């Protein structure tokens, strides 16, 4: 069964900030939206509330997601005020930005988990970034429909 746990960590926030800065010009070129040191920094975030709202939305996709990805992993979902809408680190970490609706955040979590599960296939097929996103989006669409 798919297990996820929501977390918030200042250390992870710092990691996201430094990665966002590192890849800034690439993100700009690709047209990604991201948060660094804007008004997001001073916004008070109720992580508990977001966690329960997003969990509720995520439940709707869980069964379909479990069918698509054979997982016995324990995913760590980090909520952050920084970075892009979502990203991931192998084998089991997902980072999602809190400044969207619970439904959007839940959909991003599905997207990032699918990334984690199909990274091997992506590497094997030597897909470009665009090809990779297309493959992931196709699989995600079947889950979210």
Interface with Zn ion by CB under 5 A: which residues?
Answer: 133
Strand, coil or helix: 125: coil
Nearer to Zn ion by C-beta: 45 or 144? Answer: 144
DSSP-assigned letter for residue 57: H
Output the DSSP codes for 28-40.
HHHT---BSSSGG
- Residue 83 dihedral angles phi and psi, to the nearest 5°: 80, -165
Nearer to Zn ion by C-beta: 47 or 121? Answer: 121
User: Least CB distance from residue 53 to Zn ion, whole Å?
Assistant: 22
User: Least CB distance from residue 39 to Zn ion, whole Å?
Assistant: 26
Nearer to Zn ion by C-beta: 51 or 87? Answer: 87
Nearer to Zn ion by C-beta: 15 or 139? Answer: 139
User: Least CB distance from residue 136 to Zn ion, whole Å?
Assistant: 5
User: Least CB distance from residue 109 to Zn ion, whole Å?
Assistant: 12
User: Least CB distance from residue 95 to Zn ion, whole Å?
Assistant: 12
Judge whether 67 and 84 are in contact, CB under 8 Å: no
105: its two tokens: 């955040």
Q: Beta-carbon neighbour count of residue 83 at 10 Å? A: 25
Nearer to Zn ion by C-beta: 45 or 64? Answer: 64
Judge whether 105 and 98 are in contact, CB under 8 Å: yes
Strand, coil or helix: 105: helix
């Amino acid at each position: 069964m798919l297990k996820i746990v929501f977390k918030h960590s200042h250390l992870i926030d710092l990691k996201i900030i430094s990665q966002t800065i590192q890849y800034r010009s690439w993100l700009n070129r690709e047209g990604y939206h991201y948060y660094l040191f804007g008004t997001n920094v001073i916004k008070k975030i109720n992580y508990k509330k977001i966690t329960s709202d997003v969990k509720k939305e995520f439940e709707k996709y869980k069964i379909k997601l479990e069918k698509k990805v054979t997982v016995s992993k324990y995913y760590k979902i980090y909520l952050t005020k920084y970075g892009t809408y979502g990203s991931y680190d192998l084998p089991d970490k997902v980072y999602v930005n809190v400044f969207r609706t619970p439904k959007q955040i839940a959909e991003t979590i599905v997207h990032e988990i699918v990334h984690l599960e199909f990274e091997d296939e992506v590497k094997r097929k030597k897909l470009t970034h665009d090809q990779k996103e297309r493959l992931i989006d196709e699989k995600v669409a079947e889950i979210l429909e």
